[in-house]
Amino acid sequence: MPTQRPSKIYDLILQSVKDIESELQSVSSDAKLDNAKQQALDIIKNFRIIKIDPSIEELNQNQEWDIYTIAFYGETNAGKSTVIESLRIYFQEKTKLETQNKFNEILNKYENKVKEIEQDLFNTIFGIDQSKIKYDTITAKFETIKKEIETKILNLKNLDIEKKEKSHWYRFISFLNFNSIKKDIVDLERLLNKEETRVKDELKKINDEKEFGEKNLANFENFLQKLHAENLPILHDLSDGQIIGDGRSDFTQQTTHYLFTHNEQKFAFLDVPGIEGKESVVIDEISSAVKKAHAVFYVTSNPTPPQKGDVGKKGTLEKIKEHLGSQTEVYAIFNKRITNPMQLEKLLINEDEYLSLEVLDTKLKEIIGENYIGHKKLSAKVSFLALAECLAPTLKTREEKNKFLNKFTKDDLLEKALLTDFTDFITNDLIQNTKAKIKKSNFNKANEVLKELIALLASVSKKNLEPLYKQLSKELQDVTYNLNNTVQATKNRMNSEVEKATRNFENKTRKIIYSDIDTNISDDSFKNKLELTIKIQYEQVQKDLPEMIEKEFQKFQDEINEVMENFNRRVNNTIKEFRSISFDTNNSNIDINIGNGIDGVGLMGSLAGAGGLAYSAMMFGNGWNPIGWTMFAIGVVTVLIGFGKSIHKFFSDDYKKSEQKKSADENIARIGKDIKTSISEKLMLSFKDFDKLIDKIRGDLESDVEQVKKVNDYIIDSNVKLMQLSRNIQTEGQKQ
């Protein structure tokens, strides 16, 4: 593996695959060899374009080499954000501190202003109340004075009446207005009017003061409402816990990055969208986050293993396998839901949950492999309630926090919620030796992309090419057997037809010449009639035999057609069965381009054409006449005039007939044998051509079938190189 910057690992993989492609693109003088290379190239290249190129591009875009990054991944509403928010407060994450400082700044100003307004409200209300008291006091005092004066006036009036009734002198004096009682009454009435005017003025002043106070009261109340309206929403948004979901699905739709520093060690948390919501909305965010992360916490609120999906729908188990397969460190976090402080009087995790978590570990180990480390336990909500300090006055969380703090101290809550154990794990284990962990994680992710190609090629070899080669080899054996049987059956039928034609020639010739012999013809007449009959019957053979041979050739061609069509159909079905390769969870397919040259129809046409040429050569060549006609006639005469038996024939007609028939039989048999031999020899030459053609067909088919094996060999050779590269990457990734 060449020495280079670690961040170039992705480019190295891509270039290595392209180098293998370049080797397969080399051209040779063997067209079939080049075709096999091309087929292997197509498989590798298509997978690279569809899978490797985008995966490498995504890794390049999301690579992180400087800061150790941990993704919090899991089901919707499992508590990922609550865990992160608690850790942000605990580790005093920078943006959290900034938010808390801003919250406290606004809260202090808000509370101070509220106190001022509330004091003004108190003073104003107190003033209004005092005015009311003063108003009522003055009114009451005036009523008392008024009553006293009115009583005095009434008494004086009664006294005046009484005196008028008793004294005429008094009536006279009164008439002249020298009555002192009347004067006193007038003085009292004036005093009452004056007092009433004074009181009205005083009460008006008090009432004006009260109305002024009430106006101020309304203004202060408006100021207070406005102060609440301006500050409470801001305080709400700045409160601890605003990243925590409210129970709605897909509350978190974008990955949020939080940077921490602890003992000069930098690390980051990623709050990843939930995997159980509308995955189409957040899938890119989830994918990018886990590609960036060097470790992953799978957060779940259920201690049991995640479930598989239904047909056509991924379950949590499949999503974890798909998303987390390339991670070098994966942990599960069981977030125990606690809603009442009474639940904390016992241990956080009960025995049944411990057993379930052991099963969870086993299941995640199965699907993730050795990179799954184990599980952690905590109660995120209790941790948050213990740590949260910046909570808007209107938040229900304040009540929940007080409910728990009334029962336990902050430190007790953190210990019972197991957050203390979890933070110790982060500081003492997780974020140690992060430089080596970052390298190992990034190299492992790169290697997983390569391993996908390795697994695909191994699968193509084992599940596609090897069984395809085996099945095609069987089909080749079957078609070779069928072709040989067809040729042999044709040979047998043609030989049988020759036998039949020869017998017909002999029987008809014998029947005709016997009929002539029975008329007691002379030897010369016998010879002439025999020659003529043989000639006529031979001409009939020349007429009938080509039709028979043509018919057999046509039948032969039809049988070959059927054999090759059946072979072609079976081959195509076999190729269809093994040519499609599914290589990811989305059922993306690559079709192997196999079968080039395995063309039963083309071979069938070649065979039929060759048969036609053989037929024409045999039927119309100069050698068709089985024996020369002149030689045939001389042979017959020689047999007829044998000297030893001529005298006996002269004296006995029966003997002559017997000898003529004997001579006819011998000559007919000899000529029939010559006809059969000559035609059979010609057929044998054609049959040899057919055997050669069958051998050529078998050879061509073997070559095409072997091409599948060569494709497999190239796939295996390429995979060996990729596996070596994968081992090198794994070794290099583990170096410090």
**Residue 305: pLDDT above 80?**
yes
> The tokens 């203004």 sit on which residue?
219
* pLDDT reported for residue 277: 55
Q: In the block, which residue shows the tokens 């069958």? A: 694
Distance between CA atoms of residues 442 and 328, nearest Å: 9
CA 415 distance to own-chain centroid:
41
Residue 618 pLDDT: 47
pLDDT at 115 over 90: yes
Of residues 152 and 91, more confidence is placed in 91
Quote the pLDDT of residue 515: 93
**Are β-strands 589-591 and 265-271 bridged in parallel, bridged antiparallel, or unpaired?**
unpaired
Contact 55, 253 (CB under 8 A): no
pLDDT at 648: 46
In the chain, % of residues over pLDDT 70:
84
- The secondary structure element, H or E, covering residue 257 is strand 256-262
d(CA 537, CA 675): 12
Half-sphere exposure of 602 (CA within 13 A, CB side): 8
What residue ranges do the domains of the chain occupy? 66-97+243-436, 99-229, 473-581+594-708
By DSSP bridging, strand 256-262 and strand 265-271 are antiparallel
Q: How many helices (H) and strands (E) does the chain have?
A: 21, 8
* Element (DSSP H or E) covering residue 300: strand 295-300
Measured in degrees and rounded to the nearest 5, phi and psi for residue 299 equal: -95, 130
Q: CA triplet 538, 544, 549: central angle to 5 degrees? A: 120
Neighbours of 538 (CB within 10 A): 20
End-to-end CA separation in angstroms for the chain: 16
Query: Which tokens belong to 338?
Result: 């606690």
Which tokens go with 151? Answer: 């009583």
Phi (first) and psi of residue 68, to 5 degrees = -65, 120
Look at the block and give the residue holding tokens 């009164």: 174
pLDDT at 736 over 80: no
CA quadruple 483, 487, 490, 492: dihedral, nearest 10: -120
pLDDT of residue 17: 86
**CB distance 132 to 207 below 8 Å:** no
Tell me the pairing of strands 589-591 and 330-335. Answer: unpaired
Task: For residue 621, give the 3-state DSSP assignment.
Answer: coil
For 121-124, the CB contacts below 8 A with 24+ separation are 121/217, 121/220, 121/221, 121/224, 124/213, 124/216, 124/217, 124/220
**Rg over CA atoms, the chain:** 58
Lowest mean pLDDT among 95-99, 379-383, 424-428, 595-599: 595-599
d(CA 221, CA 227) in angstroms, rounded, equals 10
In the numeric block, the tokens 């005036």 are attached to 142
| SS3 of residue 129 by DSSP | helix
Q: How far is CA 627 from CA 5, 535, 550, 673, in A?
A: 91, 12, 22, 11
In this structure, of 351-360, 576-585, 721-730, the range with the lowest mean pLDDT score is: 576-585
Q: Which fold has domain 99-229?
A: Helix Hairpins (1.10.287)
Instruction: Please state the length of the chain.
Output: 736
How crowded is residue 528: how many other Cβ atoms within 10 Å of its Cβ?
16
Q: Is the pLDDT of residue 630 over 50?
A: no
Average pLDDT, integer, range 393-417: 94
Please name the helix (run of DSSP H) or strand (run of DSSP E) that holds residue 382, with its range, or none.
Answer: helix 380-387
pLDDT of residue 269: 93
Alpha helix ranges (H) inside 621-652: 629-640, 646-651
Could you give the CA distance from residue 328 to residue 445 in angstroms, rounded to a whole number? Answer: 8
Q: Which residues contact 254 (CB under 8 A, 6 or more apart)?
A: 273, 282, 285
CB-based contact 59:218 (threshold 8 Å): no
- In 3D, which of 101, 120, 97 has the Cα closest to residue 109? 101
Report how far residue 481's alpha carbon sits from residue 74's, in angstroms, rounded to the nearest whole number: 61
Looking up tokens 């370049």 gives: 22
What strands, in cross-sheet order, belong to the sheet with 295-300? 256-262, 265-271, 68-74, 295-300, 330-335, 372-378
Report how far residue 306's alpha carbon sits from residue 118's, in angstroms, rounded to the nearest whole number: 55
> 66-97+243-436 — its CATH code?
3.40.50.300
pLDDT given for residue 178 in this prediction: 62
The residue type of 237 is D
Which DSSP category does 307 fall into? P
> Which two structure tokens, joined as six digits, stand for 574?
């076999």
User: How far is Cα 597 from Cα 701, in angstroms, rounded to an integer?
Assistant: 8
pLDDT at 293 over 90: no
Compute the distance between CA of residue 252 and CA of residue 273 in angstroms, rounded to an integer: 5
Amino acid at 482: N
Tens of pLDDT, residue by residue over 418-436, are 999 999 999 999 988 888 8
Q: Between vectors from CA 381 to CA 377 and to CA 383, what angle results, nearest 5°?
A: 70
Structure token digits, residue 583: 């290589």
pLDDT confidence of residue 252: 56
pLDDT tens, 231-282? 999 999 999 999 987 655 555 568 889 999 988 889 999 998 877 655 555 6
Identify the pLDDT of residue 180: 76
**Residue 470 pLDDT exceeds 70:** yes
How is residue 180 written in tokens? Answer: 């002192």
- Cα distance between residue 641 and residue 238, in whole Å: 138
Give the percent of the chain with pLDDT over 90.
Answer: 32
Residue range 8-17: average pLDDT? Answer: 84
Question: 93: which 2 tokens?
Answer: 């994450």
Closest by CA to 292, choosing from 442, 93, 434, is 442
Of 473-477, 579-583, 598-602, 681-685, least confident by mean pLDDT is 598-602
* C-alpha pair distances (Å), 153 with each of 141, 187, 328: 18, 9, 109
Determine phi and psi for 582, rounding to 5 degrees. Answer: -95, 125
Distance CA 543, CA 539 (A): 6
Q: Helix, strand, coil % (nearest 5) of the chain? A: 75, 5, 20
Q: How far is CA 301 from CA 332, 334, 411, 413, 416, in A?
A: 10, 6, 23, 19, 17
Give the angle subtended at the CA of 300 by the CAs of 297 and 302, to the nearest 5°. 150
Cα–Cα distance, 680 to 148 (Å, whole number): 168
Helices (H), 462-597: 466-517, 523-579
Q: How far apart are CA 363 and CA 304, in angstroms?
A: 10
Given the DSSP bridges, would you call strands 68-74 and 256-262 parallel, antiparallel or unpaired?
A: unpaired
The more confidently predicted of residues 344 and 320 is 344
Burial of residue 285 (number of CB atoms within 10 Å: 0-12, 13-18, 19+): middle
Sign of the alpha-carbon torsion through 522, 525, 526, 527: positive
